[in-house]
Amino acid sequence: MGINQLCKRCKTAEAAVVSRKEPFCIACFRKFVSLKQRKQMMSDQYFQDIFKVMYPDKKKTAEEAERLNQGSRILVPLSFGSSSIVMLDVLNDTLTEQREMHRGKTGFRIDVLVCYLKDDLEELKRKAEALMTVKLRDNKNSVKVHLVDIESSMNSPDFTRIHLQDSTYMVRNASVSANEAQSVKELLSSCSNRSAREDLLNIIKTAIIKRFGVQGGYKAILWGHSTTRLADEIMSLVVKGRASQIANALNDSEEDFEYGEPLRNLHPMRDILLSEIDAYCFVSDLTQYLHKYKPQDTLLVNKIPVAPDAQPPRAKLTKNMTINELARQYFDGIEGSYSNVISTVVRTGAKLDDPENSLKSKVRCGICNNTVFCDGSHWLRNITVTSSHPIEDAEEEAMFRAWSASEQGKVRGEYLKLTSEMEISGHEFPVCYGCILTLGEVKHKSLIWPSSQSNSVESVIEDFIISDESDSEHEGH
């Protein structure tokens, strides 16, 4: 064994991580990642006002300054993947530093939001509790955890059926009674592939988070997307016909009006690669908090030994992968030979603007709530002919009559029946191009959706605050 490399920053400690061709010791690497995140948190005046500790000055009294500090509440959606866990860790360190430097004062407060499906609840509760009682213990007065059941997004007094007619790409809706309502689980299992399932789940989760953010009056939502994740997302949005969403999705400098009230989004990890975040997880002992996520040790000097009984990961069949997974696989594959592609894609995405609106008025998609800039049904109809070549002879005429007389001719299964019902009772419904595609991959090209957004997310929050008893309970062990 040769002598281990020294950290290039401090030139004293042994290197534990090699990133962007530079060897880092643990402390210097943690600092490197942390500074990248904090740089984004200080990227403009608005965010500086959130995160900085305020003091009385010419413009504000001591009370006002303290009110600002207390009122700087940010929302951190936590998926228990490496990125959001690392983001929370850096935020926690920031709070600790502030308390030390400002005699107990901190500049901001964190509300963590966990969206869960019932099967994961116990596990997530356990991990959230471990986070609060161990990792975030010193700052527990500044951190609050909320758990929201993803199923609650289907709580609504009225429902609507959204239906795609595949021969014309027309989308219609009609109200249905509450007993026709589907659970999120049922909806997801009615998708014909994993891509559609992932898209719908993401749409539902994003809606919960943003509505929670608006209703809670948070100063900002902090999204944990790494550079790598953003690059996947940009490519996937393009592939899914959703490129018009990119500008809004990446916009950290202007208000987001998607859910009525203005909201600010921030992607503080946008300059950090996923491999760096994973390495940070390993060297900071955060892997225990991860849920359904396997961090990669690619940047570690000492790789994590594989358990002898561990099964080698089974390669997924391309056909069963989601579009996002294919994009990720692509970037993983070229990282070695074309290292700058990931950051190039993110930089390019950040240069995009909303497209020109070709519609008469501003319309939002009835499914994903993104702005619709172009009539996707019309576009598809224009480039896809669905008329037929005329019938040429008696034999064909006979076949056509046989078809018309058959069950298939009258109502080709449930789908056509549903389609003709919707043609009679439904109304044209605005849906973006990407959601037309998603609808096409759901059973009967139809889904039941809550029709009013009036039910607030707050009413279904299961607040989850670690109480003193549970604290002492842990100490008693």
Which residue, among 326, 365, 323, 329, has the nearest Cα to 193 in the 3D structure? 323
Residue whose CB is less far from Zn ion, 83 or 245: 245
Specify the residue for token string 């298939």: 408
Give the CA radius of gyration of the chain. 26
273 in contact with other proteins (CB under 8 A): no
Contacts (Cβ under 8 Å, ≥6 apart) of 118: 149, 151
Say whether residue 25 binds Zn ion (CB under 5 A).
yes
Q: How far apart are CA 325 and CA 232, in angstroms?
A: 8
Amino acid letter at 22? E
- Residue 58: contacted member of Zn ion, other proteins, none (CB under 5 to 8 Å, by partner type): none
Sole binder of other proteins in the list 10, 402, 411, 465 (CB under 8 A): 402
Residue 11 burial by CB count (10 A; 0-12/13-18/19+): exposed, middle or buried?
exposed
Q: Does 373 bind other proteins (CB under 8 A)?
A: yes
Partner from other proteins, Zn ion, none contacting 338, C-beta within 5 to 8 A by type: other proteins
Return the SS3 of 362: coil
Contact 217, 210 (CB under 8 A): no
The strand ranges marked E within 59-108 are 73-77
Q: How far is the CB of 372 from Zn ion (least distance, A)?
A: 7
Near other proteins by CB under 8 A: residue from 379, 444, 461, 471: 379
Taking each helix axis from N to C terminus, what angle separates 341-350 and 227-239, rounded to the nearest 10 degrees? 70
Q: Which of 134, 304, 359, 399 binds other proteins (CB under 8 A)?
A: 399
80 phi-psi bin (left φ>0, alpha ψ -120 to 50, beta other): left
Give the end-to-end CA distance of the chain in Å, rounded to a whole number: 43
75-134 positions binding other proteins, by CB under 8 A:
none
Kindly state the tokens that stand for 7.
């950290």
In the complex with other proteins, which residue's Cβ is closer, 282 or 433? 433
Asked if residues 232 and 331 have their Cβ atoms less than 8 Å apart, the reply is yes
Contact with Zn ion (CB under 5 A) among 76, 432, 437, 448: 432
Q: With CB under 8 A as the contact rule, which of the stretches 46-54, 114-122, 257-265, 346-354 interacts with other proteins? A: 346-354
Binding mask 433-472 for Zn ion (x = CB under 5 A): --x-------------------------------------
When asked if residue 387 is in the footprint of other proteins (CB under 8 A), the reply is yes
Residue 222: strand pairing partners:
266
Q: Which stretch binds other proteins (CB under 8 A): 52-60, 71-79, 103-111, 394-402?
A: 394-402
Binding site for other proteins (CB under 8 A): 166, 193, 195, 234-235, 237-244, 247, 318-319, 321-323, 326-327, 329-330, 333-334, 337-338, 341, 344-345, 347-349, 351-356, 373-374, 376, 379-380, 382-392, 396-397, 399-400, 402-404, 406, 408-409, 433, 437, 441
Binding site for Zn ion (CB under 5 A): 7, 9-10, 13, 25, 28, 365, 367-368, 432, 435
